[in-house]
Every structure is written in C-alpha cells, then in structure tokens.
Chains A and B, each alone.
Chain A
Amino acid sequence: MSASAAQPASTHFLHGLNPLAKLLAPLPAMLLLIFVRDLATPLAFLVLAYAVLLVGARLTVRTAVMLLLVVPALIVIMTVGFSLWTDTAGIAHDVVVLRIGGWTLYGAAVLIGLATGLRLAAIVALALIAGLTTTGQDLARSLVQQLRVPYRVGYTAIAAFRFVPRFRRELEVIRQAHRVRGQARGPLAALGRGFGYMVPLLAGAIRHAERVALAMDARAFGAYPDRTERHEVPVRARDTVFVVLLLAASAALFAVFWPWGL
C-alpha cells in the first residue's frame, strides 16, 4: 500500500516509481495518439504499454481482468460499433465484408472501426501504467510533495477516497428501500428512480462529510502551514530514467510509423 513507494525497486518496478512520473511519462504519447488514424501506431503503443505493465506491475486479479478482458472487449466493441455507424458516403466501396438486403458492410468501415478501437485501447493502456500501480493516497501525497498542492486539499482528497465504498453500500440499500415501496417499470421510470436515489444519497454524503470534517479538525488538522510527512514519495533517479526511456520509446515509435504522412 502506501509503504510501497519507499520500497526498493523490485521486478515489479512500477509500484516503486513516483506516481507523477508514471502519470507524466506516457502523457505526450496519449495526446499524440488522439490525432493518429492508422492501425500500426496505436497497435505499437498498445504492445509497449502491455509490455511495461506485464513486466513492471504486480499481476493481481484486478490487473489481469483489466488487461485480458476489459481492454480487448473495448477494442471489439469499438470496432463493431464504429464499423456500423461510419458514414459510408466518404469511404472506399471496393471491399465488401457483409451484405444483408440493401445494407452493405464495407471493409473500409471495419478498418476505421478497428483503428478507432485500437487508438482508444492504446490510450487506456498507457493510462493504466499509472492507474493499476498507484494508490490514490500516494498520488495525493506526491501532489502535495512535488506539485505543492496545499496539504489541506490533498489530505481531504485522501479522506474522500474512503467515502467511495461507503456510498456504494448506501446506494445499494437505498435501491432496496425504494424497491420495497413499489415502483413503476420502464425506461422513463428508471430515469426517475435514478434521480430519486440522488436526494437521500446526497443528504447522507453531506452529513457524513461534515462529521468527517469535524473529526479531522478535532485532531488538529490544519494546525500549521505544513505537517509531518511520514511517507515521503520522493523523485529518484529511477523516476527520471523511466520518464526518459518511455519518452524516447514513444518518440521512436512515432518516428518509425510516422502516421501523419507529412
């Protein structure tokens, strides 16, 4: 958990890196990928991100599900979705994949869908480098320590992480309670129900937040402009090495595939 940032680099080196390094290093590639239209470039970045994650991240069930199920599913759904919705007017009609009655699925449309799916998957996979190996608490700490975000904001964010599972439980109970009262069916009613859950959920959230705030103040939160930091989230040589290597790899991939035809 939070102590992991202080551990020496092991084979799962990603967990020992500064959260900001993991966040910043893939960022240029993620931004550039938005403007890519070919298949090879996103595929290359997808491979790169998977390689980094499979070598550097501890393989938990969550990680495995994310990498082996969620991301591939994303590619499939995007490919299918975009091939069906692409406007056929502006694309080549020479390859026909499927013809049902008067409707034709063109190969070019499938390629556009696949490119979109891969592009999105590559961006998601790059984000997962930080996402799967960083705790919210370490991120908040490094925001405070490196980016000089006021600690009152950072630690309130840490406290807020604890709200999430609580709200999930509460929402489940509220849904049960409303079901007991008897409900209408149908999509419109479902929308109304969603709003119905908001009021009790928000009321509970505000009350809970107020209580937490009182408890934090009662423990001298905000007494001084800074506070003792037991968990240093330092920037070390390996963070610099990681950022430089990943940037270099990104640059190399873009150089090799040069997807903009300029």
Chain B
Amino acid sequence: MPLLRVQDLAVRHDGETVFAPAGASFTVRPGEVVLLLGPSGSGKSTLALTLNGLIPHDIEAEVSGSVTVDGMDAASTPVARLATRVGMVFQDPDAQLVTGTVLDEVAFGPENLRLPVSEVLQRSEDALRRVGLWERRADSPDALSGGGRQRLAIAAALALGSPLLVVDEPTANLDPRGVDEVFATLAEIVKTGDRAVVLIEHNLDQAIGFVDRVVVMDAAGRTIADGPAADILRTRAAELHELGVWLPTAALAALRLRRAGYALDPLPLTPAELRAALEGERRPPGVSTRFAHGATGVDIPPLAPRAAQPRVATPRQPHVVSTRFARGATATGAVTVRHLTLHRGTTAVLRDVSLDIRPGEFVAVVGPNGAGKTSLLQALAGVVRAPRGTVSVGGVDLRRIRDLTSRIGFVFQNPEHQFVTHTVRDELAYGLRHLPADETDARIDDVLRRFGLEDRADVHPFLLSGGQKRRLSVGTALVAGAPVLALDEPTFGQDRARADELLGLLTDLNRDGTTIIIVTHDMQLVVEHASRTILLDEGRVLADGPTPTVFADDALIARTGLRPPPLRAALRGLARHPELDGVVRLSDLPGAHA
C-alpha cells in the first residue's frame, strides 16, 4: 500500500477563480524521495498544504479529488492525527519555531501527542542527533544560524515520528552556507531510508543527488510526468524547460551546448556528470577554442595580484590617491566612494572602502554574513549617513544632496515596508510631491505603464500580488528620476519564479541605462546578471572586477565561504575543452545565442 496517494486533486483558494493544482495524481511509497516540479502558479505549495490537511482544515479552500495518507482521508481526518504521519518543514525557519530552547522546540510535537516524558526526551535526542544539533540543545533557537534554525525545524518534524516528510522550499531564506547545511542534513536523513520525502525545491543542483523520482505539473496544475528522476529529466528536459520548470544548471548548460553541436548524450544532470561527459567527447567543429572569451567580449585577466587590495587603489590610477572625487564621476548614474570607514556602535563595519561605479553598470556586492555588504549599500544610498567627502552620487557629495530620491533609489527586501500611502497612484505621487501636478501625472502614468500597473492604480498597495508589490517598490524608487537603483537582498525569501521576474525587470532597466547595485547571497543570480562583482569581507574590499574574473579565483571564493557557481565547478580546467574554461554564466556558453 502506498504511504501517500494523491488522486485528481484540485484546489481553489477562497477568492481565486482558477484551480491550482487542477488534477494532480501521484503516489509515494515508504522511503521514497519525490521531487515535485512545476512552473510558478501550478500550485506546488498549495498541494503540499493538502498533504497534512492544513487545506482544507485550517485554510478555507474548495477541494476536489482526494489525498489519502496511510489509509486516512486527509480532508476528513484532523490535522493533529495526520501530523503523526506527515511532518512538514516550511520555507521560513522563523515562522515555525515556537519555544525558547532547541530541546523544547523538538519536544513540542511529541508533547502534543501526549507521549510519556522519557519517550519525548528519547525522540528529541534522536532527532537532534540526526540533524547535528544535540550539542546545542540548551541554546535559544535565536542563537542558531539560518541554516541551523532550518535544521531544527527538520528535527522538529522528525520527532513526530511521521514516515513522510513534506519539505517546501527549505533553502529559500538561507545564505549559501545554510543551503549547504540543509541539503547535507536532508541527504543524511534520506540515506537511512526510513522516511519518505516530498520535496519542493528550486535548487536542483544540490537536490538532484538524492531524489528517486520526479513528479511534474504543468502550468495548469495537472500531473504531466511521473517517473525516475534521471529518466524524466534526461529525456524531457527541453520540454520541461519550455514549461518554465526549474532544471539543474548542468542540464541547462548541456541543452545549450547541444545546440552548439556537442553530443552530451545522455543529458548530464550534475556538474560532475557534465564534466565527465565533456571530457568524453571532442570539441565540435565550428566552436572556436577561444569561444567563451571572445563571445563575452570580456578578456579575463588574472586576478591574483590584485586580490589583496581594492582594484581602485592600484597606483596606476592616479585619481584614486586624491581625496577629491575623480573627474568623470560627475555623470549622473555614477557613484564614487573614497576612503569610507563606517562604525556601528564601536565596531567598524566598513574599513577604508574606495570604489567607482560607472553609469550603466550592473554591480553585485557579495560576501559572507557580517562582511558589511548592507552597510555599504545603505551608505551609498544615504540610508545611513556616511561622513562628508566619502560618498558622491553623480559627482555631488551625498551630504549636500537635498532631493536624494531623484539621485538614487533604494529598494528594501520586503516591498511592503516602503509603502506610505493608500493607493498605487499616491504611492508614486509621493516621490514627486515637489513637482507641479501636471508634470507628476505624466510621469506617474509612464511608470504605471512601464511596470504593468496601469489597471491597479487605485488599489491599496497592500492588496497587490507579490510580484506587483515588488514592481511598485522598484517603481517608487525610480519615479523621481533616479539613475541609480540600490537593492538589498531583493530575492531573499522568495520563490524562484518571483526572483526571476524581478531580475528580468532589473535587466531591462539596466539595458535602458539605469545603474544597478545589488546585495545578494544568490551566486547564480550574480554570475548570470551582474557585469561586475565586488567581494567584501570584514568591511574591506577583497576583490573588485568583472564577474567572471572574480569567480575565476577559486581560492578567494572558498576563503570567504562563498560557493563557486555550478558551471564553474563543471567547466574549470577541462583538459579537452579549453574553450569552456572560465565560463560561469549560461549565456556565455556556445549555443546560447543560437
């Protein structure tokens, strides 16, 4: 008997018009690891919430079809009873921790089941040991890192003793280190084979290693594929990609390389497989040995001699030595930083940072937690006050600028935080309140059109959809005419689809001339979109250069606790394919422009 049977499941949330999912069917047997794939809007997370009855018991929704867990009908069995069969791990670790210590947290579930104290403790210890948190049992969950808190949430689900674990985008809120931790923990749990797992995850590069089977839903929320992970992904990758389904980076790369004439059959799914497959075949005719470098127009210089000191501080650039702002930095859209040291309390968060950001650049600021990334971005945008003479935008000292919003726009992580009025139109008008009315109307209409918000102009900003809120927050930052846009972790905590939508928007803005400065943990985002990367560590600029150059320095990347992008791992130092060495982004592969 299968552990879980989903049959023709369709769910329509209150107030929605469409069912998503709309006809999903699959089964999960004990011990199986099933990856649920589907484009945005196919209802993956909704489906997850039906598996332990939260829909329809806690969240009102119209449900047809059936979910059967271990012989129990999920729609008519109380959530508390289903909880003994289905453990659940959500996206935001903070929203699923309820007690004051790590041990209390794991014990919470078994206590609810009225187990005797000795068994509560036994289960809690087992679960904490499995995720490697037993030594931290007396700590407050707040003392754990993001990855640690998510591992704790996994332990709390394990302690319920449920044979099925449902895990919904567990790494979306984590930094690279946390992502690694959570995947290592999940892989460890899967290895023992005592739990079945239903996983929703966009980071397939790491998930694909321990997944048995994939179930794919189409945009309408119907199951269109169900089978062994390797078979489905290898044989139907192109079709899935068309659907908007996430694929491993290695598979995406291979699809592109095939277009350039590489055979790559069977389709590689992991960086290691891609590497092995490439080493097993020759360079196709027509692909130049210098393809990658020629195609990007970026000649990759060695970074090593510069890695120790900020690029702009090299003596060959004499204007840097001066404490005055460089000439040529007066163009709007240019940001200049000179010897910026910033303290928070008594600790220095930025130490003698100097940089020049040129108009129209797409710059990513990366680095480990506490490196000073957000502080730098906030100083650039005037969110925190930098000392006189250290930061200029468009050639004017930030401290002298009165109408900052027309020089540089700042977008916070959560768009809702920035909304100050009651309609979308007022929200845009707020940034233009110093201008005459006839001029503002034209500008507002223009922004509404550019950001696809024309028919939402009179709606309260909080009633917009998630994607619309994000677009409005970018619109408000730019409406006053700012040529520079600064964004602090704008994709953090969002699913992949929404992140991609935002990045598409930023790329368009950048193409039209807006300077983009972004702080992020998402290395794939950085290599795909940023033309330049600034690597910070302990408040200092460790590297500053073209993105491919910075990521070509493996030692530097490893030392700062960042992860090399998956393509780098697959392609560096290929013996038979020097033409691919140094490629870090998909769009630089041969075949990408075919």
A residues lining the B interface (CB < 8 Å): 1-2, 135, 137, 155, 158-159, 161-162, 165-166, 170, 173-174, 176-182, 196, 199-200, 203-204, 208, 211-224, 226-231
Residue from B80, B100, B412 within 8 A of A220 (CB atoms): B80
Assess whether B116 is in contact with A228, with CB atoms less than 8 Å apart: yes
Give 6 nearest A-B pairs by CB, closest first.
Answer: A223-B80, A215-B96, A211-B95, A220-B83, A219-B109, A159-B98
CA distance A174 to B419 in the complex (A): 9
The yes or no answer to B410 lying at the interface (CB within 8 A) is yes
In the complex, the number of residue pairs spanning A and B with C-beta atoms less than 8 Å apart equals: 157
> Which of B86-94, B182-190, B221-229 is found at the contact surface with chain A?
B86-94
Which residues of A have CB within 8 Å of B160?
219-220
Assess whether B98 is in contact with A158, with CB atoms less than 8 Å apart: yes
Asked if A219 meets B112 with Cβ closer than 8 Å, knowing A180-B381, A203-B416, A204-B414, the reply is yes
User: Closest residue to B106 on the A side, CB-wise?
Assistant: A219
**8 A-B pairs whose Cβ atoms sit less than 8 Å apart in the complex:** A162-B98, A173-B414, A177-B417, A214-B90, A217-B80, A218-B96, A228-B114, A230-B111
CA distance A211 to B92 in the complex (A): 9
Give min CB distance, B485 to chain A, whole Å. Answer: 12
Which residues of A have CB within 8 Å of B112?
219-224, 227-228
Assess whether B383 is in contact with A180, with CB atoms less than 8 Å apart: yes
CA distance A80 to B223 in the complex (A): 75
Which residues of B have CB within 8 Å of A173?
412-414, 417
Give min CB distance, A127 to chain B, whole Å. Answer: 22
Assess whether A200 is in contact with B58, with CB atoms less than 8 Å apart: no
B residues lining the A interface (CB < 8 Å): 49, 52, 54, 57-59, 78-81, 83-84, 87-88, 90, 92, 94-101, 104, 107-117, 120-121, 140, 142, 156-157, 160, 378, 381-383, 403-405, 410, 412-414, 416-420, 430-431, 462, 476
CA distance A94 to B54 in the complex (A): 75
Assess whether A1 is in contact with B418, with CB atoms less than 8 Å apart: no
Asked if A230 meets B79 with Cβ closer than 8 Å, knowing A181-B418, A220-B113, the reply is no
Give min CB distance, A227 to chain B, whole Å. Answer: 5
Assess whether A223 is in contact with B92, with CB atoms less than 8 Å apart: no
Which residues of B have CB within 8 Å of A165?
142
Which residues of A have CB within 8 Å of B52?
218
Residue from B58, B81, B117 within 8 A of A213 (CB atoms): B58
Which residues of A have CB within 8 Å of B405?
180-182
CA distance A227 to B100 in the complex (A): 18
Give min CB distance, A158 to chain B, whole Å. Answer: 6
Known: A173-B413, A227-B111. 6 other contacts (CB 8 A): A204-B416, A214-B49, A218-B79, A221-B80, A223-B113, A228-B114
Assess whether B80 is in contact with A200, with CB atoms less than 8 Å apart: no
Assess whether B80 is in contact with A222, with CB atoms less than 8 Å apart: yes
Which residues of A have CB within 8 Å of B97?
162
Give min CB distance, B56 to chain A, whole Å. Answer: 13
Which residues of B have CB within 8 Å of A182?
403-405, 431
Give min CB distance, A210 to chain B, whole Å. Answer: 9
Assess whether A155 is in contact with B98, with CB atoms less than 8 Å apart: yes
Give min CB distance, A242 to chain B, whole Å. Answer: 25
CA distance A199 to B52 in the complex (A): 32
